[in-house]
Each structure stands twice: as C-alpha cells, then as structure tokens.
Copies of this chain bind each other. A is one copy, B any other.
C-alpha cells in the first residue's frame, strides 16, 4: 500500500478512486501484465518461422525475464496465490500457465509434423517445459540463478525435442 502510494505519488485515499481494495489493485496489475505478455507472445507466434525458431525465441524471451533483477512482482504474485487459494477459474497464475502449456503443445505438434521435433506426448512435454521455467523462476527469486544455469536448461529442453542420434 505505502509503496504503491509513494511510487504513484498519490494519496492513500486516492487509490480507492481506481480500485476498491488493495487486492483488486493487485489483480488489475496481474491482468495488465498478463495481457502484455500475451501481446509479446502473439507477435512472436505470428511470424513466419519454423517451430524450432519460435520455441528458441520463446525461450530467449523467458531467459530475459528470468534475468531481470529484483523481480518483486513475481514474488508478490507467488505470495498472493500462496495465501489466496482461489478456484482454478479465477487463478490468473494457473490460467497463464495453462495457456502457455497449450500454446507450447500446439508448437511442439507443429514441429513434430514438420519433422523438426520428436515427441511422443506433446502435452506432457509442454507442461514439462513450463515446469522447468517455473522452477527457474522460483529458484531465481529464492536462491538466485546464473545465466549459465538458464542456458543449460534451454539446451536440455531443445535436446529433449530434437534428439537426433
């Protein structure tokens, strides 16, 4: 509350002109973030490129986010959903995760069809990728990670899909 008020140079009461509660403000921030993320994602996916190219681009974008220092929003989001056990439908975190999984699934399938990827269960693999990213994210917030760690994971992800022997 205090931080928001200070950062926005608004009065405490002024906040309530735009949001009914701090919780609502927070959810609004989440929604905004989510939409912006979707925009970036969409822009990438529209490009005329191979599945591998798109996946690489996606992972690069994720890496950039992971390296962003002092990602206090990520922390705040986690803390929010730790406490507020909202139902699946209203859980923005869950929705973002599921959406990303679906997009990745389609991407992997496309890659399999084009012969770029080898994958028995695109859906499970998509979820696996997202969980690795989630793992990196939480590791970044709670214990710190290096760029090397991220790169290594990206390599493992790509190798798991191309596995040409």
Contact = CB atoms under 8 A, between A and B. Distances in A.
Nearest to A94: B143
A18 interface: no
Q: How many copies does the complex hold?
A: 4
A93 interface: yes
Contact of A143 (B97, B128, B133, B156): B97
A127 B149 contact: yes
Interface residues of A, number: 39
* Shortest Cβ-Cβ A-B pairs, 5 listed: A131-B135, A135-B135, A94-B143, A134-B135, A81-B142
Interface of A: 75, 77-79, 81-82, 85, 88, 91, 93-94, 97, 121, 124-125, 127-128, 130-139, 141-144, 149, 152-153, 155-156, 160, 163, 165
